[in-house]
Homo-oligomer: A and B are copies of this chain.
Amino acid sequence: MLKHKHDHNVCIETALEAAQKICEKRETRFTPLRRRVLELVWTKHEPITAYEVLDLLSEGQKRVAPPTVYRALDFLIEEGFVHRIESLNAFVGCSDPEHKHQGHFMICTKCSNVTEMNEASLHSVIERAAKENGYTYENSILEIAGVCANCRN
């Protein structure tokens, strides 16, 4: 959460190991490419665009093509390791990949830091609103823009 105050390498390692284990359990293939893309998404807590991932992935080798990145991202999203931030056309690692869910986010307009909210109360309010409007709920995106605590002072 407070990105300025932790060893981010631990975050990355944790995420990679969790993904590894989940894929073993689900019998899906956590290939070197997919692993590398997930690592790159985690290089910062801030959202990263597909083309930034592409640039990083291409360093020191022949430039990869967009489908390579998008396919890996699709897999990671499908498995719940990564979320897409619609309002930014960008991607961010999920810190709770065990339980599949789609993310609800706060986005700081100053520092681009992103906080994922896992509050059940929010979820239930949203599902109830859907029901009241006659809709059968499938999923939802919630992206709140504001200024985070760090940036306010």
Name A residues whose Cβ lies closer than 8 Å to a Cβ of B. Answer: 86-87, 106, 108-109, 115, 117, 119, 121-122, 125-126, 129-130, 133-149, 152
Could you give 7 example pairs across A and B, Cβ below 8 Å? A106-B129, A117-B133, A119-B129, A129-B144, A130-B144, A136-B146, A136-B147
Instruction: Give chain B residues whose Cβ lies under 8 Å from the Cβ of A139.
Output: 144-145
The answer to whether A138 and B146 touch (CB under 8 A), given A86-B87, A125-B122, is yes
Q: How many angstroms from the CA of A108 to the CA of B136 in the assembled complex? A: 9
What's the number of copies of this chain in the assembled complex? 2
Q: How many angstroms from the CA of A142 to the CA of B140 in the assembled complex? A: 7
B117 & A129 in contact (Cβ 8 Å cutoff): yes
Instruction: Give chain B residues whose Cβ lies under 8 Å from the Cβ of A143.
Output: 86, 140-141
Q: How many angstroms from the CA of A148 to the CA of B134 in the assembled complex? A: 6
A106 & B126 in contact (Cβ 8 Å cutoff): no
Task: List the B residue with the shortest CB-CB distance to A144.
Answer: B140
Contact check: which of B125, B130, B142 meets A146 at CB < 8 Å? B130
Instruction: Give chain B residues whose Cβ lies under 8 Å from the Cβ of A146.
Output: 130, 135-138
